[in-house]
Homo-oligomer: A and B are copies of this chain.
């Protein structure tokens, strides 16, 4: 089994940065497997993801944190260290439509998603059988206008109790409160339809159909307090024509939603995403 460390860094771009990081890793005998960096020239920012084998590495993880901190401070880094052996813990929220849930669970089962899924929460009970087939505890927490605060309190308790790292909204049709969102920065991934031109408001597929669009799309993104406006992680589109009826658009939309959501989840749990300035760097 893979036993690697992944270091993610963003900081102001300065000469000597890469040399300092590379020297540090080399001096502790890191066997680097992948390294990728990016510079935002306009904003003068530097981003890096480096993954190395821990086999020959001569620092234990707590020692790494101690030793790396001064270097990080010198360059004003925001940084984090992730370990491939600590599989992220992912909760999934779902409503009635289960196509994204089924897709995620299949990919988890087949080994594509290297995470734990300790729980699934539905505001309806429809997905229970599917969750149980995959052996994952399923909690029903109905949400109404009246009980919303209480429902979110229970949801957050569950997330805490299961030490959840990432929350995936798999066509979860409730809007999370600003408070809920604020407490999980860059920790909630959502998926929604996207059209050219964009339609806001209700019944987007109906309106796209009326408008006669030739492409329909979907976007996965981190949830922020601005509804559906958080940093974009992935987008995709599919071609439609006048022959496609409303139900065809909706069906093609489902396939897009599955694709862009599962890619976003995968990249997140493989620690490939850095968020800055309301957008994302995706290290591939």
Contacts and interface: CB of A to CB of B under 8 A. Distances in A.
A196 B217 contact: yes
A99 interface: yes
A15 B27 CA distance: 10
Copies in the complex: 4
A6 B113 CA distance: 37
Contacts of A281: 242
Nearest to A234: B214
Nearest to A214: B235
A249 to B, nearest CB: 13
A106 interface: yes
Interface of A: 15-16, 18-19, 22-23, 25-26, 29-39, 41, 99, 102-103, 106, 110, 112, 133, 194-198, 210-215, 217, 219, 231-237, 239, 241-243, 245, 251, 255, 259, 277-282, 284
12 contacts: A18-B26, A19-B22, A103-B106, A133-B133, A196-B198, A211-B279, A212-B232, A212-B277, A217-B237, A237-B237, A239-B239, A241-B284
Given A197-B198, A212-B278, 4 more contacts: A33-B39, A103-B106, A196-B196, A241-B282
